[in-house]
Structure 1
Amino acid sequence: MTKRRYTCGLDAAIAVMGGKWKGLILFSLGDGPLRFGELGRTVSGISERILILQLREMEASGLVHREVHPQVPPKVEYSLTAFGRSLNDALAPLGEWGEEHLERIEAIP
């Protein structure tokens, strides 16, 4: 398998967190670990199937840590890794920009 080459840092960052849902999942996990159901309620509009797929991708890329607690019923918690927290911190100014320009963005046809 060939190693992917990126044209710049932005290209690399978007490759890691690309898609509609990953940024929202990162934001939701920013306050601490959440169980799958809690995460699903926090990220409104995401289907269970897509949430599972996105979490698997984020775990594979090292953004999210999945911890399984050995109990009945099974308890699984998701949290940000240091890598995920650093990406969340980098996205914070972008979120602030979006909030600042929300009306203008919503008015775009």
Structure 2
Amino acid sequence: MSRDREPSDSDPDDVFPFEREFDEESNIALAIIEAVASIENTTPAKLREELGVALYDTIDPTALAAIVGDGSGAGERHVEFPFVTYRIRITDGGKILIFERER
């Protein structure tokens, strides 16, 4: 299951926070990559080339999955990390929140 609040074509400032949900059927790393690719208006396959960095260069996807589980938790635990120009928060309740990093 995945649900996105997509960036608005009419108001580019209405992108953040970008939200996506994940569950036991989702690969958490792929869900993050798809969400960032959506914000960047590209495909997940092209994201690494366009950004010049891969998600696994920033965080260990296996460790991330071990902490937040399958998204069926109460939302009490979360992991937050910077990725390129974004701040990404993943909760054990199945939420991916992407914020613009403070400059």
Per the normalisation by structure 1, the TM-score is: 0.24
- Select the structure of larger CA radius of gyration: 1
> Which structure has greater helix proportion?
1
> Which structure has greater strand proportion?
2
